[in-house]
Every structure is written in structure tokens, then in C-alpha cells.
């Protein structure tokens, strides 16, 4: 039996996805600015749907189970988690802010950068929404665009383009309460697509232009990168569970069997098909064979 001891240098991420809750535990590497994953666990949860809590007690129990299984894999305990959120309740848009440098030296400081970003996010929002992220896309100095890091440079007018992600206050609070009932403290909620982009999209790909697609069970996250920053993000309530249901109806089989067929035999394009063997499954009556691998 592994004796688990709390470790102060561990970080834990808890992702509330489409019907699943996943926990990863790692240790940060200050030299590289990355996190080394030590272990994790993922559990199915009927208490969440499309990143939204629909049964707080069931979701909290699943979150507890996911974290405990991850802790067992690592041999340590955690009390705080970075919370990954997603779902169609998230909305995003771009905005622009400006700030005049009135000092005689006109040298831009970190406080000036905070001020111009603050002006960009000073937007009217309905009472049921709140800002989750404000991501700077690029700065302009005296109308000259394309400045990534303006601190230390001189200008009279500092401008910034930002990408703003907002969330439904009610849905976000329900997720936070669920984690609290599971016995953990949320360090900060993070939009899962942005976190995936930091890991998967290289600086060169962000500069040249790329599209990041995160396909979940009940939601699809899309991020568009160009000129070194994210320019567009969108949550679409469509996911791989739709494929499972279509297979179940088309093949007249159960959801569990259709999900197994999708995972074991599914391919993205017919050109990837190697052979045309029959799929080892039966219809919902338990007798009728479903189909071959090639669609008829």
C-alpha cells in the first residue's frame, strides 16, 4: 500500500468536460516553465453535460473519485486544483484599449500595460456574465502595431488588442461549488481551449496561422491563431457523443456497443480503411450482426 504524503510543489488540474471529469497531477519545472505530469485519472460522470453541472452531488462525487485516483497514482495528496472549464455558456470576442502616457520620460512601465489592458476589458456586461480571461494579442505604440512586449519602450499612446472570454456566472459558480463540495479549493478557473493551445500550438504555428480543434463528447472547441496570438474562439454544442448515437440508431444497437465500435473501428476517412472485415458486434436484439467496417 502506497503511503501518500502531501507535497507543496505539486499542481493539480481538474477538467470538467462533456460527461467526464479528469484530474492530472504534476510538478512544475521552473527552469523550463513547464509541468511534468506524474499521474492522472478520468472518470465518467452523469452529473455534468457539455461542461455544465446538471447534478451537483453526482458531479462532486465524480470529482472526488477522479482526484483520489490521481492521488493514488502519484502517491501524494492535493488540496487545490486549477479548474478547466468549457461548454457553450462560454462566449468570446475581441476588443481594443488605449492609454495615454502623460509622463515626460514616456517610458512604458508594467503598470502602464496593466492600465491599457484594464481599459480594454472595461466593457458593459449583463449581470449574469463575468470575464474569465483577457488575453493580449499585441500592442501598438503611437499607432505602430506589432509590438509584443512594450515595457521599457517609449511612446505617447499605448494601445492593445485583446481576446476576452466570458462565462455564465451561474454555470461557473455551480462548477466552483461542485469542486468545493468535493473537498478541494479552486486556484483559478481556466478555459480548457486556451490551456490546450499553450501546450499544443507552437509559437511558429501561432505566427503562421493555425486552427486548434478540441473535440469533446458533447462540445467542440475551436481556436484560431495568427500573428502570434489567438484571434477567435468558439464553443459549439456538438461532440463525439453525436457519432455514438448515430451509430446506435443506424446499426440498431445499444449506446455501449456503438461507443465501442466507434473507438475500436472508427476512422476519419475511407482511404485509411485497411480491409473490410465484419465488425464483431450484434444488434440490440442480441442476434442480428450490425455491419462490416465499410459503410454501405
- Confidence (pLDDT) at 286: 63
From 243, 248, 218, 246, select the one nearest 48 (Cα to Cα).
Answer: 218
- Confidence (pLDDT) at 89: 92
Write down the CATH superfamily of domain 242-296.
ATPase, substrate binding domain, subdomain 4 (3.90.640.10)
* Cell numbers for 164: 476576452
Q: Judge whether 179 and 63 are in contact, CB under 8 Å.
A: yes
Domain 91-164 bears CATH identifier 3.40.50.2000:
no
Distance between CA 131 and CA 268 in Å, rounded? 36
Domain extents in the chain: 5-87+170-201, 91-164, 242-296
- Confidence (pLDDT) at 5: 45
Distance between CA 261 and CA 205 in Å, rounded? 34
Any bridge partners for residue 63, and if so which? Answer: none
Q: Judge whether 20 and 220 are in contact, CB under 8 Å.
A: no
Write down the CATH superfamily of domain 5-87+170-201.
ATPase, nucleotide binding domain (3.30.420.40)
Q: Judge whether 64 and 183 are in contact, CB under 8 Å.
A: yes
Provide the CB-side half-sphere exposure for 22 (13 A, CA).
Answer: 14
- Confidence (pLDDT) at 207: 94
Residue segments in the chain with a per-residue pLDDT below the cut of 50? 1-6, 296
Q: Within 10 A of 242 (CB to CB), how many other CB atoms are there?
A: 13
DSSP state of 65: H
- Confidence (pLDDT) at 168: 95
Distance between CA 92 and CA 235 in Å, rounded? 9
Would the CA dihedral through 44, 49, 51, 53 be positive or negative? negative
- Secondary structure (3-state) at 157: strand
Any bridge partners for residue 292, and if so which? Answer: 278
Amino acid at each position: 500500500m502506497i503511503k501518500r504524503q502531501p507535497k507543496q510543489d505539486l499542481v493539480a488540474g481538474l477538467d470538467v468536460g462533456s460527461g467526464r471529469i479528469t484530474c492530472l497531477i504534476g510538478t512544475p519545472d521552473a527552469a523550463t516553465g513547464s509541468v511534468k505530469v506524474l499521474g492522472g485519472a478520468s472518470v465518467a460522470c452523469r452529473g455534468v453535460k457539455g461542461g455544465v453541472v446538471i447534478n451537483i452531488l453526482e458531479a462532486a462525487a465524480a470529482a472526488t473519485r477522479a482526484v483520489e485516483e490521481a492521488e493514488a497514482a502519484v502517491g501524494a495528496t492535493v488540496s487545490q486544483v486549477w479548474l478547466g472549464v468549457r461548454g457553450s455558456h462560454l462566449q468570446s470576442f475581441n476588443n481594443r484599449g488605449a492609454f495615454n502616457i502623460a509622463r515626460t520620460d514616456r517610458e512604458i512601465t508594467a503598470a502602464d500595460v496593466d492600465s491599457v489592458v484594464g481599459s480594454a476589458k472595461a466593457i458593459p456586461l449583463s449581470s449574469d456574465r463575468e470575464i474569465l480571461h483577457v488575453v493580449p494579442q499585441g500592442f501598438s505604440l503611437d499607432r505602430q502595431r506589432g509590438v509584443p512586449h512594450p515595457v521599457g519602450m517609449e511612446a505617447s499612446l499605448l494601445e492593445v488588442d485583446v481576446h476576452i472570454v466570458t462565462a455564465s456566472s451561474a454555470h461557473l459558480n455551480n462548477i466552483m461549488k461542485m469542486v468545493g463540495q468535493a473537498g478541494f479549493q479552486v486556484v483559478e478557473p481556466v478555459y480548457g481551449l486556451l490551456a490546450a493551445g499553450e501546450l499544443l500550438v507552437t509559437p511558429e504555428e501561432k505566427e503562421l496561422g493555425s486552427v486548434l480543434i478540441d473535440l469533446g463528447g458533447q462540445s467542440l472547441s475551436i481556436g484560431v491563431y495568427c500573428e502570434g496570438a489567438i484571434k477567435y474562439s468558439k464553443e459549439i454544442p456538438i461532440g463525439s457523443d453525436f457519432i455514438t448515437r448515430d451509430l446506435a440508431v443506424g446499426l440498431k444497437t445499444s449506446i455501449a456497443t456503438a461507443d465501442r465500435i466507434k473507438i475500436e473501428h472508427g476512422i476519419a476517412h475511407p482511404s485509411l480503411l485497411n480491409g473490410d472485415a465484419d465488425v464483431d458486434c450484434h444488434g440490440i436484439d442480441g442476434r442480428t450482426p450490425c455491419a462490416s467496417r465499410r459503410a454501405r
